[in-house]
Structure 1
Amino acid sequence: MEVCSLKKYFGKILLVVVPVIAAIVLLYPTYQASKLEEKEAQAIAKAKQATNSTDSLAIMKAFKKQYGEALKTAKARRLKLGLDLRGGMYVTMEVDVVKLIEETAQRETIDEIFKDVIAKTRNEAAKSDEAAMNIFLRYFNNIARPQGKSLLNYFDVGDLRDASEDKIIASLNESIDKAIDQAQEVIRQRIDQYGVSEPNIQKQGSRRIMLEFPGVTNQDEMRSLLQTTARLEFKLVRNYKEIVQAFYKIDKMLSNKIKAGKGLIEEPIAELDALKADTLKVEQPKTKQDTAKLAQSSDTTKTDTTKTDTTKTDKDTVNDPYAGLPPEEAQRRYALDHPFTTLFSTFFVPGQNQNIVPIYYTSDQFPDGEYIFRIPKDSIPKLLVMLSRPDVAALIPADLEIAIDAKPDTRLLQRQNIEIFDFYALKKEPELTGEVISNARASFDPTTNQPVVLMSMNSDGAESWARITGANLKKRIAIVLDGRVYSAPTVQSKITGGNSQITGMANAEEARLLEIVLNAGALKAPVQIIEERVVGPSLGEDSIRSGLNASLIAVILVVLYMIMYYGVGGALADFAVLLNVSLILSVLAALGGTLTLPGIAGIILTIGMAVDANVLIFERIREELDNGRSMRSAIDEGYRKALSAIIDSNVTTFFTGAILYFLGTGPIQGFALTLMIGILGTLFTAIVVTRAIIEIFMTKGVASFDFGQPKIKQYN
């Protein structure tokens, strides 16, 4: 008999048990991820307390080996929480399409007309949502075309027999579309490698990308990760006589304009003497090395400036134009005569292991050899402004550009707490680019224990690197990332194998970020953050607490009311409501959806709708019992008569939710999604699950069921 009875309601048991098991299975990764993140936090805390970097790395490697794969899998499958619940960053980025157009033009053809078009395009694009290409074409037609210029004058058209402006425009539009798509993909790869879970990355308009990063706590790192273009270039250093002579000419030109009242506003510049004094107090920092061979070599600038020969300066000769003047007056006149070179300090390197010589620009005669340029951090903006002037740029050799170190001199920073940067004259055309890098890996230099990024090149890159280093022995090659110099070592021997390294990182985390951006690839066009909102973790915690409290209060009140008013039937309805909430969360997790505060509001609304469905059913059952029907008959009729009203109300609400989801954005979509899932769950739990449980009881021979009906009546 027991076997026969079990067979009768086995299917109904499955209708109840399967959803419960499914909810547990789908929500388990959320629980697992939470526990593993606690273990990860403990491992990170231990790693920070480690006495050296080796122990720190060992702790993190052990954690990754034991839990890394499980944590990654759990994060991918867990229920995602939105910014309003976890805290994090909301960022809108814009691809610099104008820069892409400018760089697509042939460099040798760019003239003042084209620069004017680009400048006006950039100004308007910054204030408008119009496609940058349309703005560019409008200004080109208004400015360049009346002066006899066409797009063919500036852009490479390949086969001249098939050249046309339409093809140039089509090619530019295609490049822009590819650059935006590529930027979106590169950012996604960087974020994935960084370890941000559940990022939301969407394209907006013609040149913008919207990003949401729940749980991000280090905003500075994320900004660096997002905005780094990752353009890696290897360029020859040209700190030679020609650039010093150019600086001398710039001084003369600016000084004449100042004296004529046409140039810069005279400002007291006191950095020169302080910088030279600071530099003479400390040992010149060793040039950073980029390969194992270079690490063992000596750099031409590895000179102890405590032995600087100050007797060889022009200023101390009989030709000193400021001789005999009081120090303050001499400094004032020198600054007036040298508005450009007083921003930085210049040193001449006579030869290896020889004393470096401070250089003053009082004469146009400079020795042949290598020079060092050093500038205080506060003077860098002034230097960049001056270099951007057309009259200044015209005096710098056309094949050279100025680039500044990415990091200040660590020795000066540690000893005297001043930030001094080296800057370099580099050959504009790179000898090699980051496209040849096949792999980048953060590590530590075994000799200095400083963080480095080891790079491996593909076969073509290795061959080119061997040729370049072989052809430039005893010369310096700068490793430039996004226009900043990370290292500029002297080549001591031909380097084969295609291995190199970047130094200059402040810590292991910075090296890891550089590893990520190099492996993800360079952006075809620069990107910049135009809007940023940060939701602090405390706000996220408050939101979670408030949302959970509201949900719990709602559930408790509903549970108590249903039990008090509908008895056992009310308890059954409460079980169905809780199961419905579990199903909503589990389906969200399975679909990769994100739970937000509006989503919690949708869940609370669903709780009310689920209870309403059960109330309709129970009231119909009680009406049928009052009409004299038996318990079995009343249950059948109650479900049948309530069904149409339940379906009508839920289906119409579902359609409303669908409209909100497809036409709305962000928070509205979160509310609509949980509402739609909740409605489907309501129909299932209220109509199927509760009926199955009641049927199980009735099949076991229960003659009466408590729906809160008056006890004085007996229903059979």
Structure 2
Amino acid sequence: MLQIPFWKRIAILLTVGFGLLLAMPNAFYSRVEQHNDALASVEKTGVTTPEDEAAIAGWPGFLPSRLVALGLDLRGGAHLLGQVHVEDVYRARMTSLWPEVRDALAAERDTVGAVRRVTSPEDQLIVEIGNPAGMTRAVEIARRFVTPVATLSGVGQNDLNVAGSGNRLTIRITDAEKSAMADRTVQQTLEIVRRRVDEVGTREPTIMRQGSDRVLIQVPGIGSAEELKALIGTTARLTFNPVVGRVADENANPGSGNSLVPSVDEPGVFYVLEDRPVVTGEELVDARPSFDQNGAPSVDFRFNAQGAQKFGIYTAANVGQPFAIVLDDQVISAPVIRQAITGGSGQISGSMNIEESTQLAVLLRAGALPAEMTFLEERTIGPELGQDSIDAGKLSTIIATVVVVAYMIASYGLFGVFASVAVLTNVLMILGIMSVMGATLTLPGIAGIVLTVGTAVDANVIIYERIREELRKGANVVRAVDTGFREAMSAIIDANLTSFIAAMVMFFLGSGPVKGFAVTFTIGLVTSVFTAIYFTRLMIVFWIEWRKPKELVL
């Protein structure tokens, strides 16, 4: 009969209450968002400003604070399409290979003669040797640096092709290795961009590969495309180089194996640095904004075990000598080594404010972009357009809800009211679940919610029509309601299961707007079954136990 155990009643009410509690922060979106941003800022910088304290106090800490993330079309933000210059990686590979090849050839100078690098394409290293008769030996030496391509598509192929003609030794990157390098470069760019964008507190960015060498970046809530470009476009190449000397002439000859690098804090001063760094930013494991002994903003950094060992050995052997901290081909600091630094940590200080030190820490933690990226397309969606989309979405949802509620009440009376309460609860539970999941709400997502509102009452219609059939057969109220819910169960499950399968296909095979629609529609299917079968039934049971009706007009 129509009986619901006490424990099940409590479970249904707690589930509904918990869903509504999770959705509640979205009713105070701006206040909760400022609260969350302030907490994130304090955790990241370790500094609490009066504005942060006010924002944190604006929302009780014991209440849920997860929000439905708004997509680019609802919140506004920046859209960029970048092209990765993989040729830079080819050039870097040949540049890093040259010192090793040079030293290996120089070790057999008696056979190959003097060696000199000549101008060559990005994917090639061309070396002239002084003794053409030693070319065979030079090719043998160069082939020591050849390794197999580390991809499935490149099985059986090498990464380099070595050939000699006359007095010129040519080392060329093979096509298989180019393909592998291009793929690695784009994947690394995606990861670094994702870390940079996520770490500055933006919400639900879309960062994905397009084609062979392009990256699509969409970030809701950021001020402009220029602001996003400033963050992504910064290379943040960090190295620690030995200092050979200082000059005031930018055209001075630094000598073989050295480079002339300008100073940030000393205009007109250039440092002569050894090309080979002691350690690089790739060996950095952490960087955090901090303050130096004078209270000025700085960045504390820490190396991994390998970097700490190399840094400790170098500083121990060069006490009293300067070394340069080079960021993006500029010397930001050139301190004198006072003692061996064996702990693997240090500090970068200079003329920077708190925001700049925080930004630098983010860039250093994320690492350097492996190659330059040119932005082919950039677009800023203003918050006004996003607000217009939100207003339009709200209006469509309200109209759909009002029409559905009016139809249900007109068709089923009091039971229509129960169904309408279940529909409204369903929508709020969708928002609550999306908040916990961190799902992004877009315009197609709003369409999914509107569709859920329209289809959520399907289960109630099936149940109510089945109850009507039982009433026509002469069954009493309790038996008719019990039979209606029990007999309609299989039809409701089957109908929603087929829709669920279709939604899953859209989610896994679709992208962008299609996936946004699938997310809200899938969640709506689950919550609508729960509210129709369990919550609506509980409300009807409460009504029957309270009023004890002898007959039912439906």
Please tell me the TM-score bracket, short chain as reference.
0.7 to 0.9
Contact 1:30 1:74 in 2 (8 A): no
CA-to-aligned-CA distance 1:375-396 (integer Å, 9 cap, x gap): xxxxxxxxxxxx9xxxxx9x98
Match of 2:288 in 1: 441
**CA distance in 1: counterparts of 2:55 and 2:74, whole angstroms:** 30
Change (3 A) 1:517 1:152: farther
1:497 is aligned to 341
Number of residue pairs the alignment of both structures matches: 497
The equivalences for 1:145-156 within 5 A come to 156=145
Q: Aligned-pair RMSD on alpha carbons?
A: 4.7
Please report the TM-score for the alignment, with normalisation by the length of structure 2: 0.72
Q: Match for 2:98: what amino acid?
A: R
Once the two structures are TM-superposed, the CA of residue 521 in structure 1 deviates from its matched residue by 3.6
Asked if 1:682 corresponds to 2:540, the answer is: no
Please tell me the residue identity of whatever aligns with 1:512: T
1:100 corresponds in structure 2 to: 89
For the residue of structure 2 that corresponds to 1:166, the secondary structure is coil
Q: CA deviation at 1:467?
A: 4.7
Q: CA 1:462/1:191 → structure 2, altered by over 3 Å: closer, same or farther?
A: same
What is the CA–CA distance in structure 2 between the aligned matches of 1:535 and 1:155, rounded to whole Å?
Answer: 54
Alignment pair present for 1:463 and 2:344: no
Distance 1:432 1:652, change over 3 A: closer
Flag the 1:502–1:61 CA change in 2: closer, same or farther, 3 A. Answer: farther
TM-score by length of 1: 0.58
Pick the aligned partner of 1:13 from 9, 12, 21: 9
Could you tell me which residue of structure 2 aligns to residue 80 of structure 1? 69
Determine helix, strand or coil for the equivalent of 1:689: helix
Confirm or deny: 8 A CA contact 1:196 1:216 kept in the other structure: yes
The within-5 A match list for 1:19-418 is 19-27=15-23, 35-39=31-35, 57-59=47-49, 63=53, 77-105=66-94, 106-107=97-98, 114-115=120-121, 156-157=145-146, 166=158, 168=160, 179-203=185-209, 206-217=212-223, 219-235=225-241, 370-373=247-250, 397-404=255-262
| Distance in 1 (alpha carbons) for counterparts of 2:374 and 2:60 | 35
Larger Rg: 1
In 2, Cα distance between equivalents of 1:227 and 1:535: 20
Question: Cα deviations across residues 206-247 of structure 1 (Å, max 9, x unaligned)?
Answer: 55554443322365454333233332123456677xxxxxxx
Q: Where is the helix percentage greater, Structure 1 or Structure 2?
A: 1
Distance 1:72 1:486 in 2: 45
1:248 — aligned with what?
A: none
The match for 1:257 is none
Aligned residue identity for 1:460: Q
Q: Contact between 1:9 and 1:699, CA under 8 Å: does it hold in 2?
A: no
Question: Separation in 1 of the partners of 2:275 and 2:62?
Answer: 43
Q: CA 1:588–1:233 in 2, change beyond 3 Å: closer, same or farther?
A: same
Conserved? CA contact 2:21–2:64, under 8 Å:
no
Query: What letter is aligned with 2:257?
Result: D
SS for the counterpart of 2:289 is strand
Structure 2 distance, partners of 1:616, 1:679, is: 16
Residues 696 and 116 (structure 1 numbering): CA distance in 2 closer, same or farther, change over 3 Å?
closer
The residue type paired with residue 582 of structure 1 is: L
Deviation at 1:70, TM superposition (A): 9.3
Q: Is the 8 A contact 1:594 1:670 kept in 2?
A: yes
Q: CA deviation at 1:698?
A: 3.1
| C-alpha distance after superposition, 1:635-665 (max 9, x if no partner) | 3554466556545543433333222222211
Q: 566-575 vs 424-433, which deviates more?
A: 424-433
CA distance in structure 2 between the partners assigned to 1:705 and 1:220 by the alignment: 69
1:40 and 1:63 in contact (8 A); partners too? no
Structure 2: distance between partners of 1:438 and 1:645: 57
Pair 156,231 (structure 1): closer, same or farther in 2 beyond 3 Å: farther
Question: For residues 73 and 437 of structure 1, what CA distance do their matches in structure 2 show?
Answer: 38
- Say whether the 8 Å CA contact 1:12–1:692 is kept in structure 2: no
Could you say which residue in structure 1 is the equivalent of 2:363? 517
Task: Output the CA distance in 1 between the equivalents of 2:552 and 2:139.
Answer: 87
Q: What letter matches 1:371 in structure 2?
A: A
Equivalent pair of 1:93/1:529 in contact (CA under 8 Å) = yes
Task: For 1:643 and 1:166, locate their aligned partners in 2 and report how far apart those are by CA, in whole Å.
Answer: 63
Shift of 1:575: 1.1
| Contact preservation (8 Å) 1:199, 1:213 | yes
Residues 372, 439 of structure 1: CA spacing in aligned structure 2 closer, same or farther, 3 A cutoff? Answer: farther
In structure 1, C-alpha distance between the alignment counterparts of 2:244 and 2:330, rounded to whole Å? 16
Contact 2:69–2:438 (CA<8 Å) still a contact in 1? yes
Identity among equivalent positions (%) equals: 35
Displacement of 1:404: 4.6
CA displacement at 1:567 relative to structure 2: 1.7
Contact 1:624/1:637 (CA < 8 Å) preserved in 2? yes
Cα deviation for residue 84 of structure 1 reads 1.8
Q: For residues 400 and 666 of structure 1, do their structure 2 counterparts lie closer, same or farther at Cα, with a shift above 3 Å needed? A: same
Deviations 1:117-169 (A, max 9, x none): 579xxxxxxxxxxxxxxxxxxxxxxxxxxxxx99995993379xxxx962546
1:330-369, Cα deviation, whole Å (9 max, x unpaired): xxxxxxxxxxxxxxxxxxxxxxxxxxxxxxxxxxxxxxxx
